[in-house]
Chain A
Amino acid sequence: MRTEAPHDALLAASDMPPLLTQFSLTHALASPLPKWKAMQTSLAGQARALGIQQSAAGPAANPDDAAFVLAHPALSSIQARYTSPAEWLPVASLSELLVQAACGIMSVHGRASGKAQPLGVNYLAALTSAMALQATLAAAVGQLRGGTFREVRVSPLGCGLLSIGQYLAGATAPEDREQLLPGGTDARLRPPFRSADGISFELETLDSGPWRCFWESIGIGRDLAGAAWRAFLLRYARAVSPLPAECHEALADLPYERIRHLAEQAGVATVPVRTAAQRRQDADYGQMEDSPWDFSLPSAIPEQQEAARERKAAAGSLPLAGVKVVESCRRIQGPLAGHLLALLGAEVIRLEPPGGDPLRAMPPCADGCSVRFDALNHLKHVQEVDIKSAAGRRLIHELVGESDVFLHNWAPGKAQELMLDAAHLHRVQPRLVYAYAGGWGNAPVAAPGTDFTVQAWSGVADAIATASGTHGGSLFTVLDVLGGVLASLGVTAALLKRSVEATGVQVESSLLGAGDLLLRSSEDRAAGLLRGVHPTRSGLIAIDCREPAQLQSLSALLDLPASSTPSPALLTERLRRLPASEWEPLMISRGIGACTVAEDLGLVAADSRFAECLDHRAYSFVKSPWSFP
Chain B
Amino acid sequence: MSILVVVPTLLRPLTNGEKRVSAQGSSVAEVIDHLEGQFPGIKAKLVHGDRVHRFVNVYINEDDIRFADGLDTPVKAGDTLTVLPAVAGG
B64 an interface residue at 8 Å Cβ cutoff? yes
Chain A residues with CB below 8 A from B10, complex form:
360-361, 365, 368
A361 with B90, Cβ < 8 A, contacts A208-B67, A212-B67 known = no
Nearest Cβ in chain A — how far from B14, in angstroms?
12
**Which residue from B55, B59, B84 sits with its C-beta under 8 Å from A363?**
B84
Identify which of residues 39-66 in chain B touch chain A, using a CB-to-CB cut-off of 8 Å: 55, 57, 59, 62-64, 66
CA distance A358 to B85 in the complex (A): 7
Interface size for chain A: under 10, 10 to 19, 20 to 34, or 35 or more residues? 20 to 34
Per-residue 0/1 for B75-90: is the Cβ within 8 Å of any A Cβ (1 yes, 0 no)?
Answer: 0000000001111111
Nearest CB of A to B89, in Å = 5
B10: shortest Cβ distance to chain A, in Å?
4
B38 CB-CB contact with A under 8 Å: no
A226/B90 in contact, CB under 8 A: no
Contact between A358 and B87, CB atoms less than 8 A apart = yes
- From B84, which residue of chain A is reached at the shortest CB distance? A363
Known A-B contacts A358-B55, A365-B10, A368-B10; the reply to A236 vs B66 at CB < 8 A is no
Given contacts A208-B64, A222-B67, A223-B63, contact A361 B8 (CB under 8 A): yes
Contact with B along A438-474 (1 / 0, CB 8 A): 0000000000101110000000000000000000000
A359/B87 in contact, CB under 8 A: yes
- B 17-28 binary contact with A (CB < 8 Å = 1; else 0): 000000000000
Check if B62 sits within 8 Å of A227, measured CB to CB.
yes
Q: Which of A170-213 contact B (CB under 8 A)?
A: 205-209, 212
A333 CA / B90 CA spacing, docked (Å): 8
Contact of B68 among A226, A359, A368, A448 (CB under 8 A): A226
Query: Which chain A residues border B8 with CB–CB below 8 Å?
Result: 361, 363, 365
In the complex, chain B residues whose CB is within 8 Å of the CB of A223: 63, 67-68
Closest residue of chain A to B13 (Cβ to Cβ) is: A368
Q: Separation in Å of the B66 CB from the closest CB of chain A?
A: 5
Inter-chain contacts of B66 with A (CB < 8 A): 208-209, 212, 226, 229
Please measure, in the bound complex, the distance between the C-alpha atom of A541 and the C-alpha atom of B24, giving whole angstroms: 54
Give the secondary structure class of B's interface.
Answer: mixed
B11 shortest CB reach to chain A, Å: 8
Chain B residues closer than 8 Å to A225, beta-carbon distance = 67
Does A477 sit within 8 A of B, measured CB to CB? yes
Most-contacted residue by chain A among B63, B66, B67, B86 (CB, 10 A): B67
Q: Report chain B residues within 8 Å CB of A331.
A: 87, 89-90
A381 at the interface (CB under 8 A from B): no
Give chain B nearest CB distance to A56 CB in angstroms: 38
Q: Which residues from chain A contact B90 at a C-beta distance below 8 Å? A: 235-236, 331-333, 450-452, 477, 480
Confirm or deny: A394 has a beta carbon within 8 angstroms of a beta carbon on chain B. no
Give A135-174 as 1s and 0s: 1 = Cβ < 8 Å from B's Cβ atoms.
0000000000000000000000000000000000000000
B35 to chain A, nearest CB (A): 17
Asked if residues B63 and A233 are in contact (CB atoms below 8 Å), the reply is no
Select one of B9, B13, B68 contacting A222, CB under 8 A. Answer: B68
Contact status of A230 and B89, CB under 8 A, knowing A361-B8, A361-B9: no
Nearest chain B residue, comparing its CB with the CB of A221: B67
A529 at the interface (CB under 8 A from B): no
A621 CB → nearest B CB, Å: 18
Name the residue on A nearest B65 (C-beta).
A226
Q: How many residues of B contact A (CB 8 A)?
A: 21
Residues A229 and B67 in contact, CB atoms below 8 Å apart: yes
**Complex Cα gap A361–B14 (Å):** 14
Q: Is A586 an interface residue (CB 8 A)?
A: no
| Complexed CA–CA distance, A477 and B90 (Å) | 8
| CA gap between A341 and B88 in the complex, in Å | 26
A29 proximal to B (CB < 8 A): no
A221 to B63, CA, bound (A): 13
Is the Cβ of A205 less than 8 Å from the Cβ of B88? yes
In the assembled complex, the Cα of A365 lies from the Cα of B85 at a distance in Å of 12
Residues from chain B with Cβ under 8 Å of A360 in the complex: 10
A236 touching B89 by the CB < 8 A rule?
Answer: yes
CA separation between A450 and B55, bound complex, in Å?
18
Q: Is the CB of B68 within 8 A of A361?
A: no
- A450: chain B residues at CB < 8 Å are 89-90
- Partner among A207, A333, A480 whose Cβ is within 8 Å of the Cβ of B88: A207
A236 contacts B88, CB within 8 Å?
yes
Q: How far is the CB of B20 from chain A (nearest CB, A)?
A: 13
Is there an interface contact between A229 and B89, defined as CB atoms closer than 8 Å?
no
Nearest CB in chain A to that of B19: its residue: A175
| A365 with B67: CB separation less than 8 A | no
Cβ–Cβ < 8 Å partners of B85 in chain A: 358-359, 361-363
Q: Which parts of A359-375 form the interface with B (CB within 8 Å)?
A: 359-363, 365, 368
Task: Give Cα A341 to B62, complex, Å.
Answer: 41
> Which of chain B's residues have a CB closer than 8 A to the CB of A232?
88
Chain A residues, Cβ within 8 Å of B89: 206, 236, 331, 448, 450
Judge whether A226 and B64 touch: CB under 8 Å: yes
Partner of A230, one of B12, B64, B68: B64
Closest to B55 in A: A358
> Cα distance A230–B68 when bound, in Å?
13
Contact between chains at B64 and A368 (CB < 8 Å): no
Given the complex, which residues of A lie within 8 Å of B57, measured CB to CB? 233
Pairs of residues from A and B, 8 with the lowest C-beta to C-beta distance, nearest first = A226-B67, A361-B85, A358-B55, A365-B9, A236-B90, A206-B88, A226-B64, A361-B10
Given contacts A223-B67, A230-B62, A363-B9, 14 further A-B contacts (CB under 8 A): A206-B89, A208-B66, A222-B67, A222-B68, A226-B68, A229-B66, A232-B88, A233-B86, A236-B89, A333-B90, A358-B55, A365-B9, A451-B90, A477-B90
A residues at B contact (CB < 8 Å): 205-209, 212, 222-223, 225-227, 229-230, 232-233, 235-236, 331-333, 358-363, 365, 368, 448, 450-452, 477, 480
23 A-B pairs with CB atoms under 8 Å apart are: A205-B88, A207-B88, A222-B67, A226-B64, A226-B67, A226-B68, A227-B63, A229-B66, A232-B88, A236-B90, A331-B89, A332-B90, A359-B87, A361-B10, A361-B85, A363-B85, A365-B10, A368-B12, A368-B13, A450-B89, A450-B90, A452-B90, A477-B90
